[in-house]
Amino acid sequence: MLTPNGGQPVLYENYSGELIDWNDFFKKREEHIELMKNGSSLPACKDCFWIKSANWDERKNEFRYILLNIWVKCNLFCIYCSTHSDKHVIENTKEYNIIPVIKDMIEKGVLTPNTKIDIAGGEATLDKNFDELLSVLINAGVKNININTNATIFSKSIQEGIKKGVVSIISSVDCGTSKKFFEIKKVKCFEKVWNNLKNYSSNLSLNSLNTVRTKYIILPNINDDKSQIRKFLLKSKQNKIKGVILNIDLHWLRQNATDTKTMEKVIDLTRYFINISNILELDWQVWAHIEDLIKRYNSLNPNNKIDINFIFNKTKYVPKNFIEKILNKVNIFL
Ligand SMILES: C[S@@+](CC[C@H](N)C(=O)[O-])C[C@H]1O[C@@H](n2cnc3c(N)ncnc32)[C@H](O)[C@@H]1O
Protein backbone atom coordinates (compact mmCIF):
# COMPACT_ATOMS: atom_id res chain seq x y z
CA MET A 1 0.00 0.00 0.00
CA LEU A 2 1.06 3.55 -0.56
CA THR A 3 2.41 4.52 2.83
CA PRO A 4 5.08 7.21 2.94
CA ASN A 5 7.49 4.61 4.31
CA GLY A 6 7.01 1.90 1.71
CA GLY A 7 4.37 -0.05 3.53
CA GLN A 8 5.56 -3.63 3.71
CA PRO A 9 6.86 -5.23 6.91
CA VAL A 10 9.71 -7.63 6.06
CA LEU A 11 10.21 -10.95 7.86
CA TYR A 12 13.06 -12.43 5.80
CA GLU A 13 15.53 -10.56 3.59
CA ASN A 14 17.95 -11.47 0.77
CA TYR A 15 16.27 -14.74 -0.03
CA SER A 16 17.82 -17.03 -2.64
CA GLY A 17 16.04 -20.36 -2.62
CA GLU A 18 17.23 -21.92 0.66
CA LEU A 19 14.88 -23.83 2.99
CA ILE A 20 13.48 -21.66 5.78
CA ASP A 21 13.07 -22.36 9.49
CA TRP A 22 9.31 -21.76 9.68
CA ASN A 23 9.18 -21.71 13.48
CA ASP A 24 11.61 -18.78 13.53
CA PHE A 25 9.70 -17.11 10.72
CA PHE A 26 6.31 -17.24 12.42
CA LYS A 27 7.87 -16.21 15.76
CA LYS A 28 9.02 -13.01 14.08
CA ARG A 29 5.54 -12.44 12.70
CA GLU A 30 4.16 -12.83 16.24
CA GLU A 31 6.59 -10.16 17.45
CA HIS A 32 5.35 -7.78 14.74
CA ILE A 33 1.72 -8.45 15.70
CA GLU A 34 2.45 -7.87 19.40
CA LEU A 35 3.98 -4.50 18.51
CA MET A 36 0.85 -3.53 16.59
CA LYS A 37 -1.39 -4.72 19.44
CA ASN A 38 0.49 -2.41 21.78
CA GLY A 39 -0.42 0.48 19.52
CA SER A 40 3.02 1.12 18.06
CA SER A 41 2.82 0.75 14.29
CA LEU A 42 5.74 -0.85 12.49
CA PRO A 43 7.97 1.73 10.79
CA ALA A 44 6.90 0.45 7.35
CA CYS A 45 3.21 0.89 8.23
CA LYS A 46 3.46 4.38 9.72
CA ASP A 47 0.72 6.74 8.43
CA CYS A 48 -0.85 4.01 6.30
CA PHE A 49 -4.45 4.79 5.25
CA TRP A 50 -5.40 1.19 5.96
CA ILE A 51 -4.50 0.95 9.65
CA LYS A 52 -7.66 0.39 11.63
CA SER A 53 -8.61 -0.54 15.12
CA ALA A 54 -9.85 -4.14 15.20
CA ASN A 55 -9.38 -7.44 16.97
CA TRP A 56 -6.61 -9.69 15.72
CA ASP A 57 -8.02 -13.06 14.75
CA GLU A 58 -6.43 -16.40 15.63
CA ARG A 59 -3.51 -17.19 13.35
CA LYS A 60 -2.01 -20.59 12.69
CA ASN A 61 1.55 -21.09 11.52
CA GLU A 62 0.52 -21.18 7.91
CA PHE A 63 0.11 -18.81 4.99
CA ARG A 64 -3.33 -17.63 3.99
CA TYR A 65 -1.90 -15.84 0.99
CA ILE A 66 1.33 -15.97 -0.99
CA LEU A 67 2.38 -13.70 -3.84
CA LEU A 68 5.16 -15.22 -5.95
CA ASN A 69 6.77 -12.59 -8.13
CA ILE A 70 8.88 -14.39 -10.72
CA TRP A 71 11.26 -11.81 -12.15
CA VAL A 72 13.29 -14.18 -14.30
CA LYS A 73 11.94 -13.25 -17.74
CA CYS A 74 9.55 -10.94 -19.53
CA ASN A 75 8.81 -10.49 -23.23
CA LEU A 76 7.02 -7.11 -23.00
CA PHE A 77 8.36 -3.70 -22.04
CA CYS A 78 5.33 -1.99 -20.46
CA ILE A 79 5.90 1.70 -19.89
CA TYR A 80 4.32 1.65 -16.43
CA CYS A 81 6.26 -1.37 -15.12
CA SER A 82 8.60 -0.84 -12.18
CA THR A 83 11.40 -2.33 -14.30
CA HIS A 84 10.84 0.03 -17.22
CA SER A 85 13.49 2.59 -16.33
CA ASP A 86 16.11 -0.13 -15.87
CA LYS A 87 16.37 -2.30 -18.99
CA HIS A 88 18.70 -4.74 -17.23
CA VAL A 89 16.65 -5.55 -14.17
CA ILE A 90 15.40 -8.87 -15.55
CA GLU A 91 18.77 -10.05 -16.86
CA ASN A 92 20.41 -9.05 -13.55
CA THR A 93 17.89 -10.93 -11.43
CA LYS A 94 19.58 -13.85 -9.74
CA GLU A 95 17.79 -17.03 -10.75
CA TYR A 96 17.12 -19.86 -8.30
CA ASN A 97 14.88 -22.89 -8.25
CA ILE A 98 11.78 -22.30 -6.15
CA ILE A 99 10.46 -25.89 -6.34
CA PRO A 100 12.40 -27.30 -3.31
CA VAL A 101 11.13 -24.62 -0.93
CA ILE A 102 7.57 -24.92 -2.22
CA LYS A 103 7.69 -28.70 -1.67
CA ASP A 104 9.13 -28.11 1.82
CA MET A 105 6.32 -25.65 2.63
CA ILE A 106 3.72 -28.20 1.55
CA GLU A 107 5.41 -30.93 3.61
CA LYS A 108 5.63 -28.73 6.72
CA GLY A 109 1.99 -27.69 6.35
CA VAL A 110 2.66 -23.93 6.03
CA LEU A 111 1.35 -23.98 2.46
CA THR A 112 -2.03 -25.73 2.57
CA PRO A 113 -4.86 -26.43 0.12
CA ASN A 114 -6.51 -23.27 1.48
CA THR A 115 -3.56 -20.97 0.83
CA LYS A 116 -4.44 -18.47 -1.85
CA ILE A 117 -1.57 -18.13 -4.33
CA ASP A 118 -0.93 -15.24 -6.69
CA ILE A 119 1.79 -15.60 -9.32
CA ALA A 120 3.14 -12.49 -11.03
CA GLY A 121 6.46 -11.04 -12.13
CA GLY A 122 7.92 -10.65 -14.83
CA GLU A 123 6.12 -13.08 -17.12
CA ALA A 124 5.97 -16.22 -15.00
CA THR A 125 4.92 -18.49 -17.89
CA LEU A 126 8.38 -17.95 -19.46
CA ASP A 127 10.19 -19.38 -16.42
CA LYS A 128 11.52 -22.89 -17.07
CA ASN A 129 10.13 -24.08 -13.71
CA PHE A 130 6.64 -22.66 -14.28
CA ASP A 131 4.92 -25.87 -15.45
CA GLU A 132 6.41 -27.88 -12.58
CA LEU A 133 5.50 -25.18 -10.05
CA LEU A 134 1.90 -25.25 -11.18
CA SER A 135 1.68 -29.04 -11.13
CA VAL A 136 3.26 -29.23 -7.62
CA LEU A 137 0.67 -26.75 -6.32
CA ILE A 138 -2.26 -28.43 -8.07
CA ASN A 139 -1.17 -31.91 -6.90
CA ALA A 140 -0.99 -30.57 -3.32
CA GLY A 141 -4.67 -29.69 -3.64
CA VAL A 142 -4.25 -25.89 -3.70
CA LYS A 143 -7.64 -24.61 -4.80
CA ASN A 144 -7.08 -20.96 -5.50
CA ILE A 145 -4.17 -20.08 -7.78
CA ASN A 146 -4.27 -16.79 -9.64
CA ILE A 147 -1.77 -16.10 -12.41
CA ASN A 148 -0.98 -12.63 -13.72
CA THR A 149 0.01 -13.24 -17.31
CA ASN A 150 0.30 -10.99 -20.33
CA ALA A 151 -1.28 -13.86 -22.35
CA THR A 152 1.06 -13.36 -25.31
CA ILE A 153 1.97 -17.05 -25.10
CA PHE A 154 -0.66 -19.72 -24.62
CA SER A 155 0.19 -22.00 -21.68
CA LYS A 156 -1.17 -25.56 -21.68
CA SER A 157 -0.53 -25.80 -17.91
CA ILE A 158 -2.71 -22.76 -17.29
CA GLN A 159 -5.38 -24.21 -19.59
CA GLU A 160 -5.36 -27.49 -17.61
CA GLY A 161 -5.53 -25.62 -14.28
CA ILE A 162 -8.48 -23.59 -15.54
CA LYS A 163 -10.25 -26.77 -16.66
CA LYS A 164 -9.71 -28.29 -13.21
CA GLY A 165 -11.34 -25.23 -11.64
CA VAL A 166 -8.33 -24.19 -9.54
CA VAL A 167 -6.48 -21.67 -11.73
CA SER A 168 -7.69 -18.14 -12.47
CA ILE A 169 -5.93 -15.52 -14.54
CA ILE A 170 -5.68 -11.76 -14.65
CA SER A 171 -4.30 -10.13 -17.76
CA SER A 172 -3.48 -6.45 -17.73
CA VAL A 173 -4.39 -5.38 -21.26
CA ASP A 174 -4.78 -1.68 -20.30
CA CYS A 175 -6.28 -0.49 -23.60
CA GLY A 176 -8.82 -1.19 -26.32
CA THR A 177 -6.87 -0.78 -29.57
CA SER A 178 -3.78 -2.39 -31.07
CA LYS A 179 -2.20 1.05 -31.59
CA LYS A 180 -2.47 1.91 -27.89
CA PHE A 181 -1.32 -1.61 -26.99
CA PHE A 182 1.89 -1.06 -28.93
CA GLU A 183 2.36 2.37 -27.35
CA ILE A 184 2.06 0.90 -23.85
CA LYS A 185 3.71 -2.52 -24.29
CA LYS A 186 6.08 -2.04 -27.24
CA VAL A 187 5.03 -5.33 -28.85
CA LYS A 188 2.49 -5.99 -31.60
CA CYS A 189 0.30 -8.77 -30.30
CA PHE A 190 -3.00 -7.19 -29.29
CA GLU A 191 -5.23 -9.64 -31.21
CA LYS A 192 -3.14 -12.65 -30.21
CA VAL A 193 -3.58 -11.74 -26.53
CA TRP A 194 -7.39 -11.52 -26.91
CA ASN A 195 -7.44 -14.85 -28.77
CA ASN A 196 -5.49 -16.56 -25.99
CA LEU A 197 -7.72 -15.00 -23.35
CA LYS A 198 -10.82 -16.21 -25.18
CA ASN A 199 -9.32 -19.67 -25.35
CA TYR A 200 -8.56 -19.66 -21.59
CA SER A 201 -12.09 -18.43 -20.88
CA SER A 202 -13.64 -21.20 -22.94
CA ASN A 203 -12.04 -23.74 -20.57
CA LEU A 204 -13.88 -22.44 -17.51
CA SER A 205 -16.49 -24.84 -16.25
CA LEU A 206 -19.91 -23.58 -15.33
CA ASN A 207 -19.99 -24.31 -11.63
CA SER A 208 -16.46 -23.61 -10.50
CA LEU A 209 -15.31 -20.44 -8.79
CA ASN A 210 -12.20 -19.74 -10.86
CA THR A 211 -12.28 -17.00 -13.45
CA VAL A 212 -10.55 -15.18 -16.30
CA ARG A 213 -10.29 -11.41 -15.87
CA THR A 214 -8.77 -8.51 -17.73
CA LYS A 215 -7.34 -5.39 -16.11
CA TYR A 216 -7.13 -1.74 -17.09
CA ILE A 217 -4.57 0.41 -15.32
CA ILE A 218 -5.35 4.09 -15.84
CA LEU A 219 -2.13 5.74 -16.99
CA PRO A 220 -2.66 9.53 -16.84
CA ASN A 221 -2.00 11.20 -20.23
CA ILE A 222 -1.66 7.83 -21.96
CA ASN A 223 -4.89 5.83 -21.77
CA ASP A 224 -7.08 8.08 -19.59
CA ASP A 225 -9.89 8.40 -22.10
CA LYS A 226 -13.38 7.01 -22.29
CA SER A 227 -13.06 5.65 -25.79
CA GLN A 228 -10.14 3.38 -24.82
CA ILE A 229 -12.02 2.21 -21.74
CA ARG A 230 -15.18 1.52 -23.76
CA LYS A 231 -13.27 -0.41 -26.43
CA PHE A 232 -11.41 -2.40 -23.74
CA LEU A 233 -14.69 -3.40 -22.11
CA LEU A 234 -16.25 -4.33 -25.45
CA LYS A 235 -13.22 -6.45 -26.36
CA SER A 236 -13.53 -8.16 -22.97
CA LYS A 237 -17.21 -8.87 -23.61
CA GLN A 238 -16.62 -10.12 -27.16
CA ASN A 239 -13.91 -12.48 -25.94
CA LYS A 240 -16.05 -14.01 -23.18
CA ILE A 241 -14.02 -12.55 -20.32
CA LYS A 242 -15.81 -13.03 -16.99
CA GLY A 243 -14.59 -10.06 -15.02
CA VAL A 244 -12.85 -6.71 -15.46
CA ILE A 245 -10.64 -4.82 -13.04
CA LEU A 246 -9.77 -1.15 -12.87
CA ASN A 247 -6.70 0.29 -11.19
CA ILE A 248 -4.51 3.38 -11.35
CA ASP A 249 -0.79 3.52 -12.13
CA LEU A 250 0.65 3.43 -8.66
CA HIS A 251 3.85 5.20 -9.69
CA TRP A 252 1.72 8.12 -10.82
CA LEU A 253 -0.21 7.98 -7.57
CA ARG A 254 2.97 8.04 -5.48
CA GLN A 255 4.46 10.95 -7.38
CA ASN A 256 1.33 13.09 -7.79
CA ALA A 257 -0.19 12.94 -4.36
CA THR A 258 -1.73 16.43 -4.63
CA ASP A 259 -2.86 16.63 -8.27
CA THR A 260 -6.59 16.91 -7.58
CA LYS A 261 -7.50 17.74 -11.22
CA THR A 262 -6.23 14.40 -12.49
CA MET A 263 -7.75 12.67 -9.46
CA GLU A 264 -11.16 14.09 -10.49
CA LYS A 265 -10.61 12.75 -14.01
CA VAL A 266 -9.71 9.30 -12.66
CA ILE A 267 -12.84 9.28 -10.48
CA ASP A 268 -14.96 10.23 -13.51
CA LEU A 269 -13.37 7.44 -15.57
CA THR A 270 -14.01 5.03 -12.72
CA ARG A 271 -17.75 5.84 -12.80
CA TYR A 272 -17.71 5.40 -16.59
CA PHE A 273 -15.96 2.03 -16.29
CA ILE A 274 -18.56 0.83 -13.79
CA ASN A 275 -21.51 2.06 -15.87
CA ILE A 276 -20.37 0.44 -19.11
CA SER A 277 -19.47 -2.79 -17.28
CA ASN A 278 -22.97 -2.85 -15.82
CA ILE A 279 -24.53 -2.35 -19.25
CA LEU A 280 -22.40 -5.17 -20.68
CA GLU A 281 -23.01 -7.36 -17.62
CA LEU A 282 -19.32 -7.75 -16.89
CA ASP A 283 -18.41 -8.50 -13.30
CA TRP A 284 -16.30 -5.44 -12.36
CA GLN A 285 -13.93 -4.58 -9.57
CA VAL A 286 -12.23 -1.33 -8.68
CA TRP A 287 -8.97 -1.99 -6.89
CA ALA A 288 -7.61 -0.56 -3.69
CA HIS A 289 -5.27 2.03 -5.18
CA ILE A 290 -8.26 3.87 -6.60
CA GLU A 291 -9.84 3.65 -3.17
CA ASP A 292 -6.62 5.14 -1.85
CA LEU A 293 -6.80 7.91 -4.49
CA ILE A 294 -10.37 8.81 -3.50
CA LYS A 295 -9.47 8.86 0.20
CA ARG A 296 -6.58 11.12 -0.62
CA TYR A 297 -8.83 13.37 -2.74
CA ASN A 298 -11.27 13.60 0.17
CA SER A 299 -8.55 14.54 2.62
CA LEU A 300 -7.42 17.32 0.24
CA ASN A 301 -11.00 18.52 -0.40
CA PRO A 302 -12.86 18.27 2.91
CA ASN A 303 -15.74 20.42 1.59
CA ASN A 304 -16.23 18.43 -1.58
CA LYS A 305 -15.98 14.84 -0.42
CA ILE A 306 -16.84 11.94 -2.71
CA ASP A 307 -18.82 9.03 -1.28
CA ILE A 308 -16.39 6.18 -1.81
CA ASN A 309 -19.07 3.50 -1.72
CA PHE A 310 -19.79 3.65 -5.44
CA ILE A 311 -16.62 1.63 -6.07
CA PHE A 312 -17.97 -1.29 -4.02
CA ASN A 313 -21.69 -1.06 -4.68
CA LYS A 314 -22.58 -3.72 -7.23
CA THR A 315 -26.26 -2.83 -7.64
CA LYS A 316 -26.66 -2.12 -11.29
CA TYR A 317 -27.85 1.45 -11.26
CA VAL A 318 -26.94 3.27 -14.45
CA PRO A 319 -28.41 6.75 -15.08
CA LYS A 320 -31.02 6.56 -17.87
CA ASN A 321 -29.59 9.38 -19.99
CA PHE A 322 -26.19 7.69 -19.74
CA ILE A 323 -27.58 4.49 -21.27
CA GLU A 324 -29.22 6.39 -24.11
CA LYS A 325 -26.02 8.27 -24.85
CA ILE A 326 -23.90 5.17 -24.88
CA LEU A 327 -26.15 2.55 -26.43
CA ASN A 328 -25.51 3.51 -30.06
CA LYS A 329 -21.77 3.30 -29.64
CA VAL A 330 -22.05 -0.04 -27.86
CA ASN A 331 -24.31 -1.52 -30.53
CA ILE A 332 -21.88 -0.68 -33.25
CA PHE A 333 -19.22 -2.81 -31.56
CA LEU A 334 -21.42 -5.73 -30.55
C1 LIG B 1 4.32 -6.41 -13.27
S2 LIG B 1 2.87 -7.22 -13.89
C3 LIG B 1 3.59 -8.66 -14.57
C4 LIG B 1 2.73 -9.86 -14.68
C5 LIG B 1 2.38 -10.30 -16.07
N6 LIG B 1 3.50 -10.35 -16.96
C7 LIG B 1 1.30 -9.41 -16.64
O8 LIG B 1 1.50 -8.82 -17.70
O9 LIG B 1 0.20 -9.35 -16.06
C10 LIG B 1 1.99 -7.79 -12.52
C11 LIG B 1 0.75 -6.98 -12.28
O12 LIG B 1 1.17 -5.73 -11.72
C13 LIG B 1 0.41 -4.70 -12.26
N14 LIG B 1 1.23 -3.48 -12.33
C15 LIG B 1 2.48 -3.36 -12.83
N16 LIG B 1 2.92 -2.09 -12.76
C17 LIG B 1 1.91 -1.38 -12.21
C18 LIG B 1 1.75 0.01 -11.89
N19 LIG B 1 2.69 0.90 -12.15
N20 LIG B 1 0.59 0.39 -11.34
C21 LIG B 1 -0.40 -0.50 -11.08
N22 LIG B 1 -0.30 -1.83 -11.36
C23 LIG B 1 0.83 -2.26 -11.91
C24 LIG B 1 0.02 -5.20 -13.66
O25 LIG B 1 -1.22 -4.71 -14.03
C26 LIG B 1 -0.02 -6.70 -13.52
O27 LIG B 1 -1.33 -7.14 -13.35
Domain ranges of the chain: 176-189+203-334
| pLDDT-derived band at 333, boundaries 50, 70, 90 | low
Give the per-residue SS3 of the chain: CCCCCCCCCCCCCCCCCCCCCHHHHHHHHHHHHHHHHCCCCCHHHCCCCCCCCCCCCCCCCCCCEEEEEECCCCCCCCCCCCCCCCCCCCCCCCCCCCHHHHHHHHHCCCCCCCCEEEEEECCHHHCCCHHHHHHHHHHCCCCEEEEECCCCCCCHHHHHHHHCCCEEEEEECCCCCHHHHHHHHCCCCHHHHHHHHHHHHCCCCCCCCCCEEEEEEECCCCCCCHHHHHHHHHHHHHCCCCEEEEEECHHHHHHCCCCHHHHHHHHHHHHHHHHHHHHHCCEEEECHHHHHHHHHHHHHCCCCCCCHHHHCCCCCCCCHHHHHHHHHHHHHHC
Mean pLDDT score, 76-94: 79
Q: Is 127 in the pocket of ligand 1 (CB under 6 A)?
A: no
pLDDT at 331 over 70: no
Of the residues 148, 168, 190, 215, which should be mutated to test ligand 1's pocket, given the most ligand atoms within 8 Å of the CB? 148
pLDDT higher for 194 or 250? 194
Atom 22 of ligand 1: nearest residue by CA position: 249
Summarize pLDDT for 208-262 with one digit per residue, the tens: 899 999 999 999 999 999 999 999 999 999 999 999 999 999 889 988 889 999 9
